[in-house]
């Protein structure tokens, strides 16, 4: 059960609501986000919500049978849209295209990538400055200095930044330079990190865990939302299966299933999803057809020289072609 409280609710009214909720053997968890205040009722006994609904201070009340609540589609008529400012949004009604290198490598690469994206009308750039690598000897990112350098150029170009945060202590130093905090597949169930991102007034994109179920991804999002942050995006990025012909298996099933289960925007990452450059395009287009609200992929002026994930990275010519086809596919879908 989700009880949306009125913004001007008085403490005594709130207390009376909690008391009533408790009288049905429901626990009432208060959640305060950037957008509103909610009481999340957890219990199992069925009762008529009209017995609560008319109490003073309640804006709306909904029965949500899913065990995740705030991210469930069941209580929201409209899909959520994440607003990054300057007219840039992710969610229903548009196709968000986010692109950039796997890793931020230096000023020249930042400048040429921004120029490529800008020339193609892309306003959200991805890139890692803290890189989770399977081997500790691989390139692990430029860190905060890399992020600051990137920010300087991105700001000038009106480009938004999506970048991975790997641990709680990085949030504070990154905060001023990031538009979307990416939670990587290896951290989807890092509940301390999710709790901390719940306190932040910046968008968060949570990637699906490498062996994570769709429901586990939704629970991870529930952590951030119930921590106070509604600006959430979910990302299907491929899961580990018994298949060895590709790096991961992009689970296209997850896109329509997530869109049905949650009101949050859902995007697809075909680069990590398949891990093979020449197959990124068809999977990106299929993701749009499956209902994704956006696509995030890796591009680099010279993928063969990329510090990480070159094998799945598009060069700028391939990227330009993909952008064109993504837009045409989205238009086609809208025309049906
Ligand atoms: C990345 O986006 O470069 C990345 C490391 O992604 P994932 O967490 O999905 O592996
Ligand atoms: Mn990568």
Q: Is the pLDDT of residue 44 over 90?
A: no
CA of 308 to the centre of ligand 2 (A): 6
Nearest C-alpha to atom 4 of ligand 1 is from which residue? 184
Averaged pLDDT, 26-54: 92
Instruction: Work out the number of other CB atoms within 10 angstroms of the CB of residue 186.
Output: 14
Regarding the beta carbon of 165 and ligand 1, being less than 6 Å apart is answered: no
CA-CA distance, 198 to 225, in Å (whole number)? 6
pLDDT band, very low/low/confident/very high, at 294 (cuts 50, 70, 90): very high
Q: 134-165: per-residue pLDDT in tens?
A: 999 999 999 999 999 999 999 999 999 999 99
Report d(CA 75, CA 297) in Å as an integer: 32
Classify strands 89-90 and 96-100 as parallel, antiparallel or unpaired.
Answer: unpaired
Burial of residue 202 (number of CB atoms within 10 Å: 0-12, 13-18, 19+):
middle
Q: Mean per-residue pLDDT for 297-316? A: 98
R_g over Cα of the chain: 21
Residue whose CB lies within 8 A of the most ligand 1 atoms, among 182, 249, 297, for a mutation test: 182
Residue in 248, 246, 219 with CA at minimum distance from that of residue 236: 248
Identify any residues that bridge with 96 across adjacent strands, giving them in sequence order.
Answer: 294
DSSP character string of 34-60: SS-EEEEEE------THHHHTSTTEEE
In this predicted model, what pLDDT tens digit does every residue of 107-133 receive, in sequence order? 999 999 999 999 999 999 999 999 999
- Model confidence band, residue 68 (pLDDT cutoffs 50, 70, 90): very high
On the question of pLDDT at 289 being above 90, the answer is yes
Ligand 2 being an ion, which residues bring their Cβ within 5 A of it? 102, 309
Is the predicted pLDDT of residue 77 greater than 90, yes or no? no
In percent, the amount of the chain with pLDDT more than 70 equals 100
Q: How confident is the model at residue 299 (pLDDT cuts 50, 70, 90)?
A: very high
Q: How confident is the model at residue 49 (pLDDT cuts 50, 70, 90)?
A: confident
Nearest-CA residue for ligand 1 atom 6 is: 184
Alpha-carbon gap, residue 4 to 17, rounded angstroms: 11
Domains (range + CATH), the chain: 2-62 (3.30.70.1140), 82-335 (3.20.20.70)
Is pLDDT above 90 for 253? yes
**pLDDT computed for residue 139 by the predictor:** 93
Closest approach atom of ligand 1 to CA 126: 2
Mean pLDDT within 232-245: 98
Long-range contacts of 330-336 (CB under 8 A, 24+ apart): 330/95, 330/288, 333/288, 333/289
pLDDT value, residue 50: 87
**pLDDT tier, 331 (very low <50, low <70, confident <90, very high otherwise):** very high
Residue 45, pLDDT score: 83
Listing from the earlier edge strand, what are the strands of the sheet with 2-5?
A: 27-32, 37-42, 2-5, 58-62
Residue 235 pLDDT grade (very low, low, confident, very high; cuts 50, 70, 90):
very high
Between vectors from CA 290 to CA 270 and to CA 72, what angle results, nearest 5°? 100
Phi and psi angles of residue 29, each rounded to the nearest 5 degrees, phi first: -100, 125
Which pLDDT does position 47 carry in this prediction?
A: 82
- Residue 284: the pLDDT is 99
Q: What is the mean pLDDT of the chain?
A: 97
Band (pLDDT 50/70/90 cuts) for residue 94 is: very high
Q: How far apart are CA 84 and CA 312, in angstroms?
A: 27
Taking CA atoms only, the protein residue closest to ligand 1 atom 8 is 184
Residues listed for the chain: 336
Tell me, what's the pLDDT at 24?
93
Residue 81 contacts residue 89 (beta carbons within 8 Å):
yes
């Amino acid at each position: 059960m989700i009880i949306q409280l009125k913004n001007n609710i008085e403490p005594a009214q709130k207390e009376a609501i909690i008391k009533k909720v408790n009288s049905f053997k429901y626990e009432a968890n208060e959640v305060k986000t950037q957008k509103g205040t909610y009481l999340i009722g957890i219990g199992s006994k069925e009762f008529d919500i009209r017995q609560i609904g008319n109490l003073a201070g309640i804006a709306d009340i909904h029965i949500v049978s899913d065990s995740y609540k705030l991210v469930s589609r069941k209580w929201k008529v409209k899909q959520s849209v994440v607003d990054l400012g300057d007219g840039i949004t992710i969610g229903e009604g548009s196709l968000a295209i986010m692109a950039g290198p796997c890793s931020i490598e230096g000023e020249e690469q930042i400048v040429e990538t921004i120029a490529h994206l800008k020339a193609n009308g892309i306003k959200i750039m991805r890139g890692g400055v803290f890189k989770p690598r399977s081997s500790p000897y691989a390139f692990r990112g430029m860190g905060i200095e890399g992020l600051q350098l990137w920010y300087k150029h991105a700001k000038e170009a009106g480009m938004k930044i999506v970048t991975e945060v790997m641990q709680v202590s990085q949030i504070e130093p990154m905060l001023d330079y990031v538009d979307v905090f990416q939670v990587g597949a290896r951290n989807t169930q890092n509940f301390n990190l999710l709790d901390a991102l719940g306190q932040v007034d910046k968008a968060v994109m949570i990637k699906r865990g490498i062996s994570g179920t769709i429901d586990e991804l939704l629970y991870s999002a529930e952590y951030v939302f119930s921590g106070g942050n509604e600006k959430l995006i979910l990302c299907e990025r491929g899961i580990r299966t018994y298949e060895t012909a590709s790096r991961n298996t992009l689970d296209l099933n997850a896109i329509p299933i997530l869109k049905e289960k949650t009101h949050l925007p859902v995007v697809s990452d075909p680069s990590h999803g398949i891990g093979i450059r020449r197959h990124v395009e068809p999977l990106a287009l299929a993701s749009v057809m499956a209902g994704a609200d956006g696509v995030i992929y890796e591009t680099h002026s010279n993928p063969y020289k990329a510090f990480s994930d070159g094998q799945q990275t598009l060069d700028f010519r391939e990227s330009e072609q993909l952008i064109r086809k993504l837009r045409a596919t989205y238009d086609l879908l809208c025309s049906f």
